[in-house]
Amino acid sequence: MRLSDLQLKMVINVKNGKHLGVIVDAEVTTTGEINYFVVAPRHFFKRLFKSDPENNITIEQIVKIGEDVILVDL
């Protein structure tokens, strides 16, 4: 699966059902391993007015990657 495919999916927290946003970037090591994904709110105004607009999601926090959503356990 490509990063561009993951960027189209909504990221949802399974503990409270909150929509965290979408994947906007990934931190990758020199060996090609993914350290974490950067998740930001989809809407511009949410990014502008939130105090902590980005979440870093590690591979271990991902519960399930579905057709339309990525479920994470934060």
pLDDT range class, residue 53, cuts 50, 70, 90:
low
In the chain, the largest separation of any two C-alpha atoms, in whole Å, equals 36
| Pairwise pLDDT comparison (22 vs 52), residue with the higher score | 22
At residue 52, does pLDDT exceed 70? Answer: no
Q: What was the pLDDT predicted at 70?
A: 95
Query: What average pLDDT does the segment 15-24 reach?
Result: 91
Map out the domains of the chain with their CATH numbers: 3-72 (2.30.30.240)
The pTM (predicted TM-score) of the whole model is: 0.80
Closest Cα partner for 14 from 48, 46, 62, 54?
A: 62
Do the Cβ atoms of 60 and 1 come closer than 8 Å? no
Residue 68 CA to chain centroid, in angstroms?
13
Contacts of 3 (CB under 8 A, 6+ apart): 23, 26
Q: What was the pLDDT predicted at 31?
A: 93
* CA angle (48, 3, 34) in 5-degree steps: 95
